[in-house]
């Protein structure tokens, strides 16, 4: 038995992609399947260097369709399997992920968002929100954690394996090229040492015994003959999803109680939002902050509670309204004082511009 | 020809009679596969992967763990299983559309990487499940729903020669053959050798089977057989193209 990748808690300073490779090891991932695309490449680079030392495996596939479907195969064989992609690769991943939703296959996929549409930039965006939350020909039966810091990349990569295997929905960690490539300090740890119980994987196929004799054969399908049969198969999945949603939904909110204006953001942009809030508070402007951490399931109720206290919103994202669509759906039918938006598709957002924007709006 | 009429033990009797059309070749291929599963005793280690196409109807055909995948994606799912748990014996089962059109990149790269899985392509020279459109293997001049005046190779190229392509790129240890449901003894021999190669873990095992689709061909029993034994046989030669010890049966 290879020794544990992380022996004791340690402070490190590294890029986000390296963090994810270490976190996958710490989570007990067995195998990664992947296809090169910037800005996620270094996840594979670090994984292929680290994996053999700990008896783990890697397969470089012919494309992201294959990366997705081989990942599903790995899960069906009962191994903690994951992949990583971005941009056009995320597009190709929708097909395997829709199969995972239908057949309850707990695949874990890391998305490092790059500019879109099309090939666009290899650098950064928040433009894969639509696709990661509701892509594929289905109902969005996935869990999406949108991270903001390297510590979160570590924590939520570990958590994504547990969420996937506990609830059997495909699970995404949604980062971006900035998080992928920048260096930042964080603490790495062994999850068990912190009392985090890791959920063991279970095999769907290749169980012991002769099928039809010692046990029944496993027959897994995604095709149904008639409408009612499909309805009967899908409604329990939605019920499971709703039950799970209450347990996995996560958000962060600050300074809501006395707020005159609330900034809504997710992912790395929320760091600019926090900085802007603090600077404006120093100037006596009462700014609050709300950030969904799970984009699926979305913290609808939590956001509605915020809106009951303050509904003068400024929404900021590095996309043209992808987060806004989720937010507006959550706030449906509520009286809203103001909904200001800062949309910068594929471009970073600074605290300074938010400070200026909010100050001007309040003048 | 002495035909064994008994059901293979590995068949799931609860789902018989099966769901294929009368006269469909899929049933014959799966009968032979069932016999080979029995003879080689692999029911507990095999994982059967079925594509979308008429192969999907076999999702509960055997008492074997079975996964229905997406159109063209059965090879990568089986590859993923094998890479994660090399003790298992994954067999991907698909049509000519799944194998040579939408999933061709997966077939080519599984062969290139010499994946230790087995793939069976049932070649019925059309897209059976979707109602008889032209497929990569449709013969020159053959009428289908999307080549109503007959396939014109000038416009749409010539029929894909799957085993020849796989044989050309396969690595040592691979097994590559073409059989036909109109020669069940040969089919059985090749099927068994392909599965033996899978068990031995020598390399990629690939078997194309010339098969019938009377529903979309709109042929009676006699015409169906004649089309397979004459028209298809002229274009698609049966035989072994690669064997692990390079002793081919022509
Ligand atoms: C991505 C995708 N495209 C198209 C289809 C529709 N479709 C279902 S089966 C099929 C063709 C099947 O033909 P083949 O693979 O030759 O199998 P056969 O039915 O002839 O045995 C197609 C195009 C699909 N299910 N998925
Ligand atoms: S449509 Fe053709 S291939 Fe499909 S079951 Fe009927 S005869 Fe067989
Ligand atoms: Mg076909």
pLDDT tens per residue across all 363 residues of chain A: 467 899 899 999 999 999 999 999 999 999 999 999 999 999 999 999 999 999 999 999 999 999 999 999 999 999 999 999 999 999 999 999 999 999 999 999 999 999 999 999 999 999 999 999 999 999 999 999 999 999 999 999 999 999 999 999 999 999 999 999 999 999 999 999 999 999 999 999 999 999 999 999 999 999 999 999 999 999 999 999 999 999 999 999 999 999 999 999 999 999 999 999 999 999 999 999 999 999 999 999 999 999 999 999 999 999 999 999 999 999 999 999 999 999 999 999 999 999 999 999 988
Output b/e per residue, B46-62; b: 16+ Cβ within 10 A. Answer: bbbbbbbbbbbbbbbbb
Question: For residue B183, is it within any domain?
Answer: yes
pLDDT tens profile B90-119: 999 999 999 999 999 999 999 999 999 999
Strands ordered across the beta sheet of A287-292: A251-254, A287-292, A261-264, A312-317, A338-343
Percent of chain B scored above 90 by pLDDT?
95
What DSSP assignment string belongs to A36-60? --TTTHHHHHHHHHHGGGGT-EEEE
Q: How far apart are CA A233 and CA A50, in angstroms?
A: 41
pLDDT tens profile B155-186: 999 999 999 999 999 999 999 999 999 999 99
- CATH code at B167? 3.40.50.970
Q: A80, A148, A168, A163: which is closest to A317 by C-alpha? A: A148
Number of domains observed in the structure of chain A: 2
Question: For residue A227, is it within any domain?
Answer: no
Residues 6+ apart with CB under 8 A from B47: A76, A205, A206, B64, B65, B66, B67, B78, B81, B88, B89, B90, B91
What DSSP assignment string belongs to A175-203? EEHHHHH-EEEEEE--GGGGTPPPPPP--
Q: Which of A194, A218, A233 is the last residue of a domain?
A: A194
What confidence category does residue B4 fall into, taking pLDDT thresholds of 50, 70 and 90? low
DSSP B134: -
- CATH code at A263? 3.40.50.920
pTM: 0.96
Give the three-state DSSP class for A311.
Answer: coil
Q: How far apart are CA B9 and CA B35, in angstroms?
A: 8
Tell me which residue has tokens 């192969």.
Answer: B55
Peptide bond into A131 cis (omega under 30): no
Q: Would you say residue B2 has pLDDT above 60?
A: no
Question: For residue A274, is it within any domain?
Answer: yes
Q: B134, B118, B151: which is closest to B42 by C-alpha? A: B118
What confidence category does residue B1 fall into, taking pLDDT thresholds of 50, 70 and 90? very low
Are β-strands A251-254 and A287-292 bridged in parallel, bridged antiparallel, or unpaired? Answer: antiparallel
DSSP strands (E only) in chain B: 46-50, 65-68, 89-95, 118-123, 175-180, 205-210, 239-242
The answer to whether residues A75 and A167 belong to one domain is yes
B12·A69 Cβ contact <8 A: no
Q: B164, B178, B100: which is closest to B134 by C-alpha? A: B100
- Which of A67, A69, A71, A221 best probes binding to B when mutated, by most B CB atoms within 10 angstroms? A69
The residue segments making up the domain with residue A323 are: 252-362
Q: Which of the ligands is closest to the CA of residue B27? A: 2
The answer to whether residues A37 and A147 belong to one domain is yes
Output b/e per residue, A252-287; b: 16+ Cβ within 10 A. Answer: ebbbbeebebbbbbbbbbbbbbbebbebbbeeebbb
Long-range contacts of B145-154 (CB under 8 A, 24+ apart): B145/B216
Tell me which residue has tokens 């979707």.
Answer: B130
Give the three-state DSSP class for B116.
Answer: coil
The answer to whether residues A268 and A151 belong to one domain is no
Residue B117 · residue B90 · CB < 8 Å? yes
The answer to whether residues A50 and A177 belong to one domain is yes
Q: To test ligand 1's pocket by mutation, which of B75, B128, B214 has the most ligand atoms within 8 angstroms of CB?
A: B128
What confidence category does residue B3 fall into, taking pLDDT thresholds of 50, 70 and 90? low
Q: B201, B249, B59, B120: which is closest to A225 by C-alpha? A: B59
What DSSP assignment string belongs to A262-296? EEE--TTHHHHHHHHHHHHHHTT--EEEEEESEEE
The answer to whether residues A162 and A25 belong to one domain is yes
Distance B62 CA to ligand 2 centre (A): 19
The residues facing B122 across adjacent strands are B95, B209
Q: How far apart are CA A108 and CA B146, in angstroms?
A: 40
Number of domains observed in the structure of chain B: 1
The answer to whether residues A267 and A185 belong to one domain is no
Question: For residue B249, is it within any domain?
Answer: no
Are β-strands A143-146 and A81-85 bridged in parallel, bridged antiparallel, or unpaired? Answer: unpaired
Residue B84 · residue A57 · CB < 8 Å? yes
Question: For residue B224, is it within any domain?
Answer: yes
Contact list, A221 vs chain B (CB under 8 Å)? 56, 59-60, 68
Query: Which of A65, A73, A223 faces B84 most closely, judged by CB atoms?
Result: A73
State which H helix or E strand residue A172 sits in.
strand A171-176
Contact list, B90 vs chain A (CB under 8 Å)? 73
The answer to whether residues A170 and A271 belong to one domain is no
Residue A260 · residue A138 · CB < 8 Å? no
Residue A102 · residue A187 · CB < 8 Å? no
pLDDT tens profile B205-235: 999 999 999 999 999 999 999 999 999 999 9
State mean pLDDT over B81-94: 98
Residue A66 · residue A85 · CB < 8 Å? no
State which H helix or E strand residue A164 sits in.
helix A150-167
Question: For residue B137, is it within any domain?
Answer: yes
pLDDT at B6: 85
Nearest C-alpha to atom 5 of ligand 2 is from which residue?
B20
A72·B80 Cβ contact <8 A: yes
Measure the CA angle with vertex A155, ends A151 and A161; round to 5°: 150
Angle between helices A64-76 and B104-112 in degrees, nearest 10: 70
The residue segments making up the domain with residue B71 are: 13-242
Q: How far apart are CA A199 and CA A353, in angstroms?
A: 43
B70·A62 Cβ contact <8 A: no
Q: How far apart are CA A327 and CA A336, in angstroms?
A: 12
Question: For residue B149, is it within any domain?
Answer: yes
In terms of Cβ atoms closer than 10 Å to its own Cβ (0-12, 13-18, 19+), residue B68 is: buried
Query: Which of A74, A203, A210 faces B43 most closely, judged by CB atoms?
Result: A210
Question: For residue B203, is it within any domain?
Answer: yes
CA A14 to chain centroid, in Å, comes to: 20
Question: For residue B131, is it within any domain?
Answer: yes
A206·B62 Cβ contact <8 A: no
Question: For residue B133, is it within any domain?
Answer: yes
């Amino acid at each position: 038995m290879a020794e544990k990748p992380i022996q004791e808690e340690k402070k490190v300073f590294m890029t986000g992609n390296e963090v994810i490779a270490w976190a996958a090891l710490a989570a007990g991932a067995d195998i990664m399947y992947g296809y090169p695309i910037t800005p996620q490449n270094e996840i594979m680079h670090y994984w292929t260097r680290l994996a053999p030392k700990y008896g783990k495996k890697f397969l470089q596939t012919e494309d992201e369709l294959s990366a997705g479907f081989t990942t599903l195969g790995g899960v069906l064989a009962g191994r903690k399997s994951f992949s990583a992609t971005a941009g056009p690769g995320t597009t190709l991943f929708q097909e395997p992920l829709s199969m995972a939703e239908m057949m309850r296959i707990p695949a874990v996929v890391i998305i490092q968002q790059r500019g879109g549409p099309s090939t666009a930039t290899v650098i950064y965006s928040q433009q894969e929100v639509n696709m990661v939350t509701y892509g594929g020909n289905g109902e969005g039966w996935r869990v999406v954690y949108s991270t903001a810091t390297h510590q979160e990349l570590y924590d939520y990569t570990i958590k994504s394996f547990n969420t996937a295997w506990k609830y059997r929905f495909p699970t995404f960690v949604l980062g971006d090229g900035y998080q992928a490539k920048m260096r930042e300090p964080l603490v790495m740890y062994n999850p068990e040492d912190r009392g985090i119980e890791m959920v063991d994987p279970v095999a769907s196929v290749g169980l012991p015994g002769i099928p039809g004799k010692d046990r029944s054969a496993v027959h897994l399908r995604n095709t149904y003959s008639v409408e009612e049969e499909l309805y009967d198969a899908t409604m329990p999945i939605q019920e499971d999803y709703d039950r799970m949603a209450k347990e996995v939904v996560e958000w962060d909110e600050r300074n809501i109680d006395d707020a005159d204006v609330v900034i809504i953001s997710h992912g790395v942009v929320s760091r600019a939002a926090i900085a802007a809030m603090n600077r404006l508070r120093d100037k006596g402007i009462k700014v609050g902050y709300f950030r969904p951490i799970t984009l699926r399931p979305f913290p609808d109720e939590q956001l509605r509670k915020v809106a009951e206290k303050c509904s003068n919103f400024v929404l900021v994202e590095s996309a043209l309204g992808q987060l806004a669509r989720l937010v507006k759906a959550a706030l449906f039918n509520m009286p809203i004082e103001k909904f200001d938006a800062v949309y910068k598709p594929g471009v970073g957002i600074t605290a300074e511009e938010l400070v200026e924007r909010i100050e001007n709006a309040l003048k | 020809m002495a035909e064994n009429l008994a059901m293979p033990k590995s068949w799931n009797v609860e789902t018989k009679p099966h769901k294929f059309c009368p006269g469909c070749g899929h049933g014959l291929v799966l009968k032979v596969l069932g016999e080979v599963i029995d003879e080689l005793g692999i029911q507990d280690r095999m994982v059967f992967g079925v594509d979308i196409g008429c192969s999907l109807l076999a999702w509960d055909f055997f008492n074997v763990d079975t996964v229905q995948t997406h159109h063209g994606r059965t090879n990568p799912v089986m590859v993923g299983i094998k890479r994660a748990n090399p003790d298992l014996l994954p067999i991907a089962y698909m049509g000519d559309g799944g194998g040579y059109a939408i999933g061709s990149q997966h077939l080519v790269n599984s062969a290139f990487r010499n994946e230790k899985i087995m793939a069976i392509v049932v070649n019925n020279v059309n897209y059976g499940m979707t109602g008889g459109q032209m497929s990569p293997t449709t013969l020159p001049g053959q009428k289908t729903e999307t080549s109503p005046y007959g396939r014109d190779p000038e416009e749409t190229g010539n029929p894909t020669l799957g085993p020849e392509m796989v044989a050309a790129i396969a690595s040592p240890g691979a097994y590559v053959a073409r059989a036909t449901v109109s020669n069940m003894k040969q089919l059985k021999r090749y099927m068994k050798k392909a599965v033996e190669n899978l068990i031995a873990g020598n390399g990629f095992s690939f078997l194309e089977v010339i098969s019938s689709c009377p529903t979309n061909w709109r042929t009676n029993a006699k015409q169906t057989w004649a089309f397979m034994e004459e028209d298809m046989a002229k274009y698609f030669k049966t035989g072994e193209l690669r064997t692990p010890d390079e002793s081919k049966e022509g």
